[in-house]
Protein backbone atom coordinates (compact mmCIF):
# COMPACT_ATOMS: atom_id res chain seq x y z
CA UNK A 1 0.00 0.00 0.00
CA UNK A 2 1.35 3.44 -0.95
CA UNK A 3 1.05 6.21 1.60
CA UNK A 4 0.56 9.90 0.70
CA UNK A 5 3.38 12.40 1.02
CA UNK A 6 3.15 13.42 4.67
CA UNK A 7 5.10 13.85 7.89
CA UNK A 8 4.76 13.41 11.61
CA UNK A 9 6.22 12.74 15.04
CA UNK A 10 7.23 9.65 16.99
CA UNK A 11 6.16 9.92 20.65
CA UNK A 12 4.94 7.19 22.99
CA UNK A 13 2.03 8.01 25.36
CA UNK A 14 4.18 7.26 28.43
CA UNK A 15 6.27 10.29 27.40
CA UNK A 16 3.39 12.72 27.84
CA UNK A 17 3.33 15.02 30.88
CA UNK A 18 0.99 13.90 33.63
CA UNK A 19 0.28 14.57 37.29
CA UNK A 20 0.44 10.85 37.93
CA UNK A 21 4.06 9.83 37.34
CA UNK A 22 3.79 8.72 33.71
CA UNK A 23 2.02 9.75 30.54
CA UNK A 24 -1.51 8.56 29.87
CA UNK A 25 -4.53 9.09 27.59
CA UNK A 26 -5.63 12.27 29.37
CA UNK A 27 -5.63 15.94 28.43
CA UNK A 28 -1.89 16.10 27.62
CA UNK A 29 -2.38 13.47 24.92
CA UNK A 30 -4.87 15.78 23.20
CA UNK A 31 -2.49 18.71 23.70
CA UNK A 32 0.16 16.72 21.81
CA UNK A 33 -2.28 15.98 19.00
CA UNK A 34 -3.10 19.69 18.85
CA UNK A 35 0.63 20.37 18.43
CA UNK A 36 0.71 18.04 15.41
CA UNK A 37 -2.34 19.73 13.91
CA UNK A 38 -1.04 23.26 14.50
CA UNK A 39 2.28 22.47 12.81
CA UNK A 40 0.71 20.86 9.75
CA UNK A 41 1.76 17.30 10.58
CA UNK A 42 -0.51 14.36 9.81
CA UNK A 43 1.19 11.36 11.46
CA UNK A 44 1.50 10.27 15.08
CA UNK A 45 3.62 7.14 15.56
CA UNK A 46 3.58 5.22 18.84
CA UNK A 47 5.38 2.20 20.28
CA UNK A 48 3.40 -0.95 21.24
CA UNK A 49 0.56 -0.13 23.67
CA UNK A 50 0.51 -3.62 25.17
CA UNK A 51 1.11 -4.40 28.90
CA UNK A 52 4.78 -4.06 29.80
CA UNK A 53 6.75 -6.70 31.65
CA UNK A 54 10.28 -6.64 33.03
CA UNK A 55 12.06 -3.33 32.51
CA UNK A 56 8.84 -1.57 31.40
CA UNK A 57 9.67 -2.36 27.79
CA UNK A 58 6.74 -2.11 25.36
CA UNK A 59 8.53 -4.83 23.40
CA UNK A 60 8.32 -7.35 26.27
CA UNK A 61 4.65 -7.82 27.00
CA UNK A 62 2.27 -10.17 28.78
CA UNK A 63 0.05 -10.06 25.70
CA UNK A 64 0.17 -9.24 22.00
CA UNK A 65 -3.48 -8.14 22.17
CA UNK A 66 -4.21 -6.53 25.55
CA UNK A 67 -3.67 -2.89 26.40
CA UNK A 68 -1.36 -1.39 29.03
CA UNK A 69 -4.04 -0.35 31.51
CA UNK A 70 -1.68 2.02 33.33
CA UNK A 71 -2.24 4.36 30.38
CA UNK A 72 -5.85 4.79 31.55
CA UNK A 73 -6.34 8.42 32.57
CA UNK A 74 -7.46 8.97 36.15
CA UNK A 75 -8.84 12.37 35.16
CA UNK A 76 -11.15 10.73 32.62
CA UNK A 77 -12.33 8.32 35.33
CA UNK A 78 -13.12 11.35 37.49
CA UNK A 79 -15.17 12.85 34.66
CA UNK A 80 -17.06 9.57 34.37
CA UNK A 81 -17.87 9.68 38.07
CA UNK A 82 -15.88 6.53 38.83
CA UNK A 83 -13.38 8.42 41.02
CA UNK A 84 -13.50 11.62 43.04
CA UNK A 85 -11.10 14.51 42.56
CA UNK A 86 -9.76 13.90 46.07
CA UNK A 87 -9.10 10.23 45.34
CA UNK A 88 -7.22 10.99 42.12
CA UNK A 89 -5.15 13.61 43.92
CA UNK A 90 -3.66 10.86 46.11
CA UNK A 91 -1.85 9.49 43.02
CA UNK A 92 -0.23 12.80 42.04
CA UNK A 93 3.55 12.86 41.60
CA UNK A 94 5.98 15.59 40.47
CA UNK A 95 6.05 16.31 36.73
CA UNK A 96 9.63 15.61 35.60
CA UNK A 97 11.41 14.26 32.52
CA UNK A 98 11.48 10.75 34.00
CA UNK A 99 8.58 8.33 34.34
CA UNK A 100 8.11 7.03 37.87
CA UNK A 101 6.62 3.70 36.87
CA UNK A 102 6.82 1.79 40.15
CA UNK A 103 5.34 4.63 42.23
CA UNK A 104 2.68 5.31 39.63
CA UNK A 105 1.69 1.64 39.31
CA UNK A 106 1.23 1.30 43.05
CA UNK A 107 -0.88 4.43 43.43
CA UNK A 108 -2.96 3.86 40.30
CA UNK A 109 -3.73 0.19 40.99
CA UNK A 110 -5.79 0.92 44.10
CA UNK A 111 -7.71 3.65 42.28
CA UNK A 112 -8.44 1.47 39.26
CA UNK A 113 -9.95 -1.14 41.57
CA UNK A 114 -12.17 1.47 43.19
CA UNK A 115 -13.29 2.67 39.77
CA UNK A 116 -13.96 -0.88 38.62
CA UNK A 117 -16.07 -1.65 41.69
CA UNK A 118 -18.14 1.50 41.12
CA UNK A 119 -18.58 0.67 37.44
CA UNK A 120 -20.04 -2.74 38.24
CA UNK A 121 -22.13 -1.52 41.19
CA UNK A 122 -23.86 1.12 39.06
CA UNK A 123 -23.94 -0.76 35.76
CA UNK A 124 -26.50 0.84 33.43
CA UNK A 125 -28.21 -1.04 30.63
CA UNK A 126 -26.12 0.88 28.11
CA UNK A 127 -22.84 0.12 29.90
CA UNK A 128 -23.84 -3.53 30.19
CA UNK A 129 -24.58 -3.64 26.46
CA UNK A 130 -21.23 -2.06 25.62
CA UNK A 131 -19.34 -4.39 27.98
CA UNK A 132 -21.04 -7.45 26.52
CA UNK A 133 -20.21 -6.28 23.00
CA UNK A 134 -16.59 -5.71 24.01
CA UNK A 135 -16.30 -9.22 25.46
CA UNK A 136 -17.78 -10.75 22.33
CA UNK A 137 -15.58 -8.76 19.96
CA UNK A 138 -12.40 -9.64 21.87
CA UNK A 139 -13.16 -13.19 22.96
CA UNK A 140 -10.28 -14.51 20.85
CA UNK A 141 -7.77 -13.23 23.42
CA UNK A 142 -9.59 -11.58 26.34
CA UNK A 143 -10.56 -14.61 28.44
CA UNK A 144 -7.09 -16.16 28.25
CA UNK A 145 -5.40 -12.88 29.09
CA UNK A 146 -7.55 -12.10 32.12
CA UNK A 147 -7.10 -15.61 33.51
CA UNK A 148 -3.37 -15.49 32.80
CA UNK A 149 -3.00 -12.30 34.85
CA UNK A 150 -5.13 -13.73 37.67
CA UNK A 151 -3.00 -16.87 37.77
CA UNK A 152 0.20 -14.82 37.59
CA UNK A 153 -0.86 -12.83 40.64
CA UNK A 154 -1.75 -16.00 42.52
CA UNK A 155 1.71 -17.39 41.70
CA UNK A 156 3.67 -14.26 42.71
CA UNK A 157 4.24 -13.46 39.02
CA UNK A 158 6.46 -16.52 38.47
CA UNK A 159 6.70 -17.51 34.77
CA UNK A 160 3.75 -19.69 33.77
CA UNK A 161 5.91 -22.76 33.08
CA UNK A 162 6.72 -22.76 36.82
CA UNK A 163 3.05 -22.95 37.85
CA UNK A 164 1.48 -26.24 38.86
CA UNK A 165 1.26 -28.63 35.87
CA UNK A 166 -2.55 -28.54 35.94
CA UNK A 167 -2.55 -24.78 35.37
CA UNK A 168 0.51 -24.60 33.12
CA UNK A 169 -0.93 -27.28 30.86
CA UNK A 170 -4.43 -25.81 31.03
CA UNK A 171 -6.26 -28.92 32.18
CA UNK A 172 -9.95 -28.29 31.37
CA UNK A 173 -11.25 -29.10 34.84
CA UNK A 174 -8.63 -26.84 36.44
CA UNK A 175 -9.38 -23.95 34.06
CA UNK A 176 -13.10 -24.28 34.81
CA UNK A 177 -12.43 -24.21 38.54
CA UNK A 178 -10.11 -21.20 38.32
CA UNK A 179 -12.65 -19.18 36.36
CA UNK A 180 -15.04 -19.56 39.28
CA UNK A 181 -12.39 -19.05 41.95
CA UNK A 182 -10.98 -15.90 40.34
CA UNK A 183 -14.29 -14.45 39.15
CA UNK A 184 -13.83 -11.13 40.97
CA UNK A 185 -10.30 -10.68 39.58
CA UNK A 186 -11.46 -11.64 36.09
CA UNK A 187 -14.19 -9.01 36.24
CA UNK A 188 -11.61 -6.40 37.23
CA UNK A 189 -9.16 -7.40 34.49
CA UNK A 190 -11.99 -7.31 31.95
CA UNK A 191 -13.00 -3.82 33.06
CA UNK A 192 -9.50 -2.33 32.80
CA UNK A 193 -9.23 -3.67 29.24
CA UNK A 194 -12.70 -2.33 28.45
CA UNK A 195 -11.73 1.09 29.80
CA UNK A 196 -8.32 1.08 28.11
CA UNK A 197 -9.82 0.48 24.67
CA UNK A 198 -12.61 3.00 25.23
CA UNK A 199 -10.10 5.71 26.13
CA UNK A 200 -7.75 4.78 23.29
CA UNK A 201 -10.46 4.78 20.62
CA UNK A 202 -11.70 8.15 21.86
CA UNK A 203 -8.15 9.53 21.59
CA UNK A 204 -7.60 8.02 18.13
CA UNK A 205 -10.93 9.46 16.97
CA UNK A 206 -9.76 12.88 18.16
CA UNK A 207 -6.51 12.51 16.19
CA UNK A 208 -8.36 11.39 13.06
CA UNK A 209 -10.78 14.32 13.38
CA UNK A 210 -7.73 16.59 13.16
CA UNK A 211 -6.55 14.86 9.99
CA UNK A 212 -3.86 12.83 11.78
CA UNK A 213 -3.12 9.19 11.00
CA UNK A 214 -1.96 7.02 13.93
CA UNK A 215 0.79 4.47 13.23
CA UNK A 216 1.18 1.59 15.67
CA UNK A 217 3.94 -0.95 16.17
CA UNK A 218 3.79 -4.76 16.09
CA UNK A 219 6.78 -6.79 17.36
CA UNK A 220 7.20 -9.99 15.38
CA UNK A 221 7.92 -12.14 18.45
CA UNK A 222 6.00 -12.42 21.72
CA UNK A 223 7.31 -12.88 25.23
CA UNK A 224 7.50 -16.42 26.59
CA UNK A 225 5.81 -15.38 29.81
CA UNK A 226 2.67 -14.21 28.08
CA UNK A 227 -0.98 -15.15 27.71
CA UNK A 228 -0.28 -15.77 24.01
CA UNK A 229 2.13 -18.66 24.60
CA UNK A 230 0.26 -20.02 27.64
CA UNK A 231 -3.05 -19.98 25.76
CA UNK A 232 -1.70 -21.26 22.42
CA UNK A 233 1.30 -23.53 23.15
CA UNK A 234 0.75 -25.52 19.95
CA UNK A 235 1.83 -22.47 17.95
CA UNK A 236 5.14 -21.99 19.77
CA UNK A 237 8.39 -23.92 20.25
CA UNK A 238 7.76 -25.02 23.84
CA UNK A 239 7.61 -28.51 25.37
CA UNK A 240 4.67 -30.08 27.23
CA UNK A 241 5.67 -28.33 30.47
CA UNK A 242 5.87 -24.97 28.70
CA UNK A 243 9.67 -24.71 28.69
CA UNK A 244 11.23 -23.02 25.69
CA UNK A 245 12.81 -25.34 23.11
CA UNK A 246 13.87 -22.99 20.30
CA UNK A 247 14.30 -19.25 20.70
CA UNK A 248 14.86 -16.14 18.60
CA UNK A 249 17.90 -13.94 18.19
CA UNK A 250 20.29 -12.56 15.60
CA UNK A 251 23.70 -13.93 14.62
CA UNK A 252 27.11 -12.46 15.48
CA UNK A 253 27.89 -9.31 13.52
CA UNK A 254 29.96 -6.13 13.59
CA UNK A 255 28.14 -4.96 16.72
CA UNK A 256 28.32 -8.18 18.75
CA UNK A 257 30.74 -11.10 18.58
CA UNK A 258 28.17 -13.40 20.17
CA UNK A 259 25.06 -12.08 18.43
CA UNK A 260 21.90 -11.25 20.35
CA UNK A 261 19.95 -13.96 22.15
CA UNK A 262 16.46 -12.53 22.56
CA UNK A 263 14.94 -15.62 24.13
CA UNK A 264 11.46 -15.32 22.63
CA UNK A 265 10.00 -18.72 21.74
CA UNK A 266 9.91 -19.23 18.00
CA UNK A 267 6.71 -19.96 16.11
CA UNK A 268 5.73 -23.36 14.81
CA UNK A 269 4.95 -21.94 11.40
CA UNK A 270 3.71 -25.26 9.97
CA UNK A 271 1.13 -25.51 12.77
CA UNK A 272 0.07 -21.93 12.18
CA UNK A 273 -0.26 -22.54 8.46
CA UNK A 274 -2.42 -25.62 9.04
CA UNK A 275 -4.80 -23.33 10.91
CA UNK A 276 -4.72 -20.82 8.03
CA UNK A 277 -2.58 -18.47 10.15
CA UNK A 278 -5.67 -17.64 12.22
CA UNK A 279 -3.67 -16.34 15.22
CA UNK A 280 -1.77 -13.91 13.00
CA UNK A 281 -4.91 -12.90 11.10
CA UNK A 282 -6.60 -12.00 14.39
CA UNK A 283 -3.53 -10.13 15.55
CA UNK A 284 -3.40 -8.02 12.41
CA UNK A 285 -7.18 -7.57 12.45
CA UNK A 286 -6.98 -5.98 15.88
CA UNK A 287 -3.97 -3.85 14.94
CA UNK A 288 -5.80 -2.42 11.93
CA UNK A 289 -8.69 -1.50 14.23
CA UNK A 290 -6.39 0.16 16.77
CA UNK A 291 -4.31 2.10 14.23
CA UNK A 292 -4.49 3.55 10.75
CA UNK A 293 -1.22 1.85 9.80
CA UNK A 294 1.37 -0.28 11.58
CA UNK A 295 5.14 -0.65 11.59
CA UNK A 296 6.16 -4.34 11.60
CA UNK A 297 9.25 -4.77 13.75
CA UNK A 298 12.06 -7.13 12.56
CA UNK A 299 10.33 -7.65 9.22
CA UNK A 300 13.11 -9.86 7.91
CA UNK A 301 12.06 -12.54 10.42
CA UNK A 302 9.06 -13.34 8.24
CA UNK A 303 11.41 -14.28 5.41
CA UNK A 304 14.05 -16.05 7.50
CA UNK A 305 14.82 -16.07 11.22
CA UNK A 306 17.81 -17.01 13.40
CA UNK A 307 16.97 -20.18 15.34
CA UNK A 308 18.86 -21.01 18.54
CA UNK A 309 18.43 -23.85 21.00
CA UNK A 310 17.01 -22.63 24.32
CA UNK A 311 19.91 -24.24 26.19
CA UNK A 312 22.48 -21.96 24.53
CA UNK A 313 23.93 -19.00 26.44
CA UNK A 314 24.67 -16.94 23.31
CA UNK A 315 23.31 -16.72 19.77
CA UNK A 316 26.51 -18.06 18.15
CA UNK A 317 25.29 -21.63 17.58
CA UNK A 318 22.18 -20.71 15.67
CA UNK A 319 21.18 -21.03 12.03
CA UNK A 320 18.84 -19.40 9.54
CA UNK A 321 15.44 -21.00 9.00
CA UNK A 322 13.00 -20.07 6.26
CA UNK A 323 9.95 -18.17 7.50
CA UNK A 324 6.35 -18.15 6.22
CA UNK A 325 7.11 -15.39 3.72
CA UNK A 326 4.47 -14.53 1.12
CA UNK A 327 2.03 -17.22 2.27
CA UNK A 328 1.36 -15.36 5.51
CA UNK A 329 0.78 -11.93 3.98
CA UNK A 330 -1.30 -13.33 1.12
CA UNK A 331 -3.55 -14.99 3.70
CA UNK A 332 -3.80 -11.82 5.80
CA UNK A 333 -4.57 -9.73 2.70
CA UNK A 334 -7.23 -12.20 1.59
CA UNK A 335 -8.88 -12.05 5.01
CA UNK A 336 -8.48 -8.36 5.80
CA UNK A 337 -7.97 -6.51 2.52
CA UNK A 338 -5.43 -3.72 2.04
CA UNK A 339 -2.38 -3.91 4.31
CA UNK A 340 -1.22 -0.46 5.56
CA UNK A 341 2.15 -1.77 6.77
CA UNK A 342 5.61 -0.21 7.16
CA UNK A 343 8.39 -2.81 7.06
CA UNK A 344 11.21 -2.36 9.59
CA UNK A 345 13.89 -3.51 7.15
CA UNK A 346 16.99 -2.27 8.95
CA UNK A 347 20.16 -4.32 9.22
CA UNK A 348 21.54 -6.63 6.55
CA UNK A 349 18.78 -7.29 4.03
CA UNK A 350 18.84 -10.16 1.56
CA UNK A 351 17.27 -10.13 -1.92
CA UNK A 352 14.49 -12.42 -0.67
CA UNK A 353 13.59 -10.03 2.17
CA UNK A 354 13.48 -7.13 -0.27
CA UNK A 355 11.34 -9.21 -2.63
CA UNK A 356 8.90 -10.00 0.21
CA UNK A 357 8.67 -6.30 1.10
CA UNK A 358 8.28 -5.14 -2.49
CA UNK A 359 5.77 -7.83 -3.51
CA UNK A 360 3.25 -6.24 -1.14
CA UNK A 361 4.49 -2.69 -1.78
CA UNK A 362 5.40 -2.18 1.87
CA UNK A 363 7.53 0.95 2.41
CA UNK A 364 10.85 0.33 4.15
CA UNK A 365 12.68 2.56 6.64
CA UNK A 366 15.58 4.99 6.17
CA UNK A 367 17.52 6.29 9.18
CA UNK A 368 19.49 9.49 8.62
CA UNK A 369 21.83 8.82 11.54
CA UNK A 370 23.05 5.77 9.58
CA UNK A 371 23.80 7.81 6.46
CA UNK A 372 27.32 9.02 7.16
CA UNK A 373 29.37 5.94 7.98
CA UNK A 374 30.42 5.24 4.38
CA UNK A 375 30.53 6.90 0.95
CA UNK A 376 27.95 8.41 -1.40
CA UNK A 377 26.46 4.98 -2.19
CA UNK A 378 25.11 4.66 1.37
CA UNK A 379 21.45 3.66 1.03
CA UNK A 380 20.46 5.90 3.96
CA UNK A 381 21.55 9.07 2.13
CA UNK A 382 18.48 10.86 0.73
CA UNK A 383 19.74 10.94 -2.86
CA UNK A 384 19.55 7.12 -2.86
CA UNK A 385 15.97 6.78 -1.54
CA UNK A 386 13.10 5.18 -3.40
CA UNK A 387 9.88 7.15 -3.11
CA UNK A 388 8.06 4.35 -1.29
CA UNK A 389 9.85 4.58 2.07
CA UNK A 390 9.69 6.29 5.46
CA UNK A 391 12.58 8.49 6.56
CA UNK A 392 13.50 9.09 10.21
CA UNK A 393 16.31 11.03 11.83
CA UNK A 394 16.34 8.15 14.34
CA UNK A 395 13.93 5.76 16.05
CA UNK A 396 13.24 4.83 19.68
CA UNK A 397 16.41 2.69 19.57
CA UNK A 398 18.66 5.56 18.45
CA UNK A 399 20.19 8.39 20.41
CA UNK A 400 18.71 11.84 19.89
CA UNK A 401 20.26 13.46 16.82
CA UNK A 402 22.25 15.89 18.96
CA UNK A 403 23.46 12.97 21.11
CA UNK A 404 24.37 10.95 18.02
CA UNK A 405 26.35 13.80 16.47
CA UNK A 406 28.30 14.58 19.64
CA UNK A 407 29.46 10.97 19.99
CA UNK A 408 29.90 10.13 16.28
CA UNK A 409 33.44 9.62 14.93
CA UNK A 410 35.03 12.74 13.47
CA UNK A 411 34.77 11.41 9.94
CA UNK A 412 30.99 10.95 10.27
CA UNK A 413 30.59 14.43 11.71
CA UNK A 414 32.59 15.79 8.78
CA UNK A 415 30.46 13.94 6.22
CA UNK A 416 27.28 15.17 7.90
CA UNK A 417 28.49 18.77 7.76
CA UNK A 418 29.52 18.42 4.12
CA UNK A 419 26.24 16.83 3.09
CA UNK A 420 24.13 19.42 4.89
CA UNK A 421 26.48 22.29 3.99
CA UNK A 422 26.33 23.45 7.61
CA UNK A 423 28.57 23.93 10.62
CA UNK A 424 26.71 21.18 12.54
CA UNK A 425 25.55 23.53 15.31
CA UNK A 426 21.92 22.67 14.55
CA UNK A 427 22.47 19.19 13.22
CA UNK A 428 19.03 18.02 14.39
CA UNK A 429 17.29 20.63 12.21
CA UNK A 430 19.64 19.93 9.32
CA UNK A 431 18.65 16.25 9.34
CA UNK A 432 14.97 17.11 9.80
CA UNK A 433 15.25 19.35 6.73
CA UNK A 434 16.95 16.54 4.76
CA UNK A 435 14.15 14.15 5.66
CA UNK A 436 11.41 16.64 4.89
CA UNK A 437 12.82 17.55 1.46
CA UNK A 438 13.63 13.95 0.48
CA UNK A 439 11.48 11.97 -1.97
CA UNK A 440 10.37 9.60 0.83
CA UNK A 441 6.59 9.43 0.96
CA UNK A 442 6.62 9.79 4.74
CA UNK A 443 8.99 11.62 7.09
CA UNK A 444 8.74 10.93 10.83
CA UNK A 445 10.89 12.45 13.56
CA UNK A 446 11.28 11.67 17.28
CA UNK A 447 9.79 14.43 19.40
CA UNK A 448 13.17 14.88 21.13
CA UNK A 449 14.68 16.20 17.89
CA UNK A 450 12.01 18.87 17.51
CA UNK A 451 12.80 19.80 21.14
CA UNK A 452 16.59 20.12 20.52
CA UNK A 453 17.36 17.54 23.23
CA UNK A 454 20.67 15.79 23.91
CA UNK A 455 21.57 12.22 24.82
CA UNK A 456 20.18 12.50 28.35
CA UNK A 457 16.71 12.35 26.79
CA UNK A 458 17.25 9.14 24.85
CA UNK A 459 14.35 6.65 24.97
CA UNK A 460 16.17 3.31 24.78
CA UNK A 461 19.63 1.76 24.51
CA UNK A 462 19.27 -1.69 22.87
CA UNK A 463 20.84 -4.54 24.81
CA UNK A 464 20.41 -2.80 28.17
CA UNK A 465 17.56 -2.88 30.72
CA UNK A 466 18.38 0.01 33.07
CA UNK A 467 16.78 3.46 32.69
CA UNK A 468 15.10 2.70 29.36
CA UNK A 469 11.62 3.82 28.26
CA UNK A 470 11.46 6.42 31.04
CA UNK A 471 11.80 9.66 29.05
CA UNK A 472 8.96 12.15 29.09
CA UNK A 473 8.63 15.85 28.54
CA UNK A 474 7.13 18.68 30.54
CA UNK A 475 4.35 20.98 29.25
CA UNK A 476 6.88 23.79 28.92
CA UNK A 477 9.08 21.71 26.61
CA UNK A 478 6.22 21.21 24.15
CA UNK A 479 5.26 24.89 24.27
CA UNK A 480 8.84 25.97 23.51
CA UNK A 481 9.12 24.00 20.23
CA UNK A 482 9.72 26.25 17.21
CA UNK A 483 6.37 25.62 15.57
CA UNK A 484 6.86 28.20 12.84
CA UNK A 485 10.00 26.38 11.74
CA UNK A 486 8.14 23.07 11.52
CA UNK A 487 5.22 24.64 9.63
CA UNK A 488 7.65 26.22 7.16
CA UNK A 489 9.38 22.88 6.45
CA UNK A 490 6.07 21.02 6.17
CA UNK A 491 4.78 23.51 3.60
CA UNK A 492 8.12 23.80 1.78
CA UNK A 493 8.33 20.02 1.34
CA UNK A 494 4.67 19.65 0.26
CA UNK A 495 3.82 17.44 3.24
CA UNK A 496 0.85 19.41 4.58
CA UNK A 497 -1.85 16.99 3.46
CA UNK A 498 -4.31 15.87 6.16
CA UNK A 499 -5.41 12.26 6.68
CA UNK A 500 -9.12 13.07 6.31
CA UNK A 501 -8.48 15.14 3.19
CA UNK A 502 -6.98 12.25 1.25
CA UNK A 503 -9.02 10.65 -1.49
CA UNK A 504 -10.02 7.11 -0.63
CA UNK A 505 -9.33 7.37 3.12
**DSSP state letters, 55-114:** GG-TTSBS-SSS--GGGS-HHHHHHTTSS-HHHHHTT-----SB--HHHHHHHHHHHHHH
Residue 399 in any domain: the answer is no
Range of the domain at 86: 6-366+440-444+456-501
Residue 450 in any domain: the answer is no
Task: Report the domain count for the chain.
Answer: 2
Provide the β-strand partners of residue 295: 217, 342
- One pLDDT digit (tens) per residue for the chain, 505 residues: 678 999 999 999 999 999 999 999 999 999 999 999 999 999 999 999 999 988 899 999 999 999 999 999 999 999 999 999 999 999 999 999 999 999 999 999 999 999 999 999 999 999 999 999 999 999 999 999 999 999 999 999 999 999 999 999 999 999 999 999 999 999 999 999 999 999 999 999 999 999 999 999 999 999 999 999 999 999 999 999 999 999 999 998 766 788 889 999 999 999 999 999 999 999 999 999 999 999 999 999 999 999 999 999 999 999 999 999 999 999 999 999 999 999 999 887 899 999 999 999 999 999 999 999 999 999 999 999 999 999 999 999 999 999 999 999 999 999 999 999 999 999 999 999 999 999 999 999 999 999 999 999 999 998 788 899 999 999 999 999 999 999 999 999 999 988 777 644 4
Is residue 382 located within the same domain as residue 341?
A: no
Is residue 310 located within the same domain as residue 323?
A: yes
Residue 391 in any domain: the answer is no
Neighbouring CB atoms inside 10 A of 129's CB total 10
What is the rounded distance in angstroms from the CA atom of residue 414 to the CA atom of residue 273? 50
What is the rounded distance in angstroms from the CA atom of residue 310 to the CA atom of residue 25? 38
Is residue 262 located within the same domain as residue 371?
A: no
Is the whole model's pTM more than 0.85, yes or no? Answer: yes
Is residue 238 located within the same domain as residue 382?
A: no
Is residue 372 located within the same domain as residue 267?
A: no
Provide the β-strand partners of residue 496: none
Closest CA to 450 of 373, 382, 394: 394
Closest CA to 218 of 397, 1, 99, 45: 45
Show Cβ contacts of residue 474 under 8 Å, excluding neighbours closer than 6 positions. Answer: 17, 95, 96, 97
Residues 391 and 442: beta-carbon distance below 8 Å: yes
- Residues with catalytic annotation? 297, 344, 397
Amino acid sequence: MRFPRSCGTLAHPTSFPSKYGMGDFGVEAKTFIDFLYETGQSIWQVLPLTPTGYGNSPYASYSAFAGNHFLISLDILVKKGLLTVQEAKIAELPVTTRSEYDKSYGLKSDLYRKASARFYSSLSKEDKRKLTAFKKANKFWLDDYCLFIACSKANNFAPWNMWSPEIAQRKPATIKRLKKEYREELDYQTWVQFEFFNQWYTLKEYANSKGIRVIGDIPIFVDHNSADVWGNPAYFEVDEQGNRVLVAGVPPDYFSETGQLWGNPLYKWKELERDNFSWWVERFRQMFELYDAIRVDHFRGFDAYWEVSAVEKTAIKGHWVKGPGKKLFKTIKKELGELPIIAEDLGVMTPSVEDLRDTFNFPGMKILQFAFDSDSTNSFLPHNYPQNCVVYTGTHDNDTTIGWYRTAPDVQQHRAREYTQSDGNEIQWELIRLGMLSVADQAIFPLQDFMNLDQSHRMNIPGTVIDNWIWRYTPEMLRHIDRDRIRFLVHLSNRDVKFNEQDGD
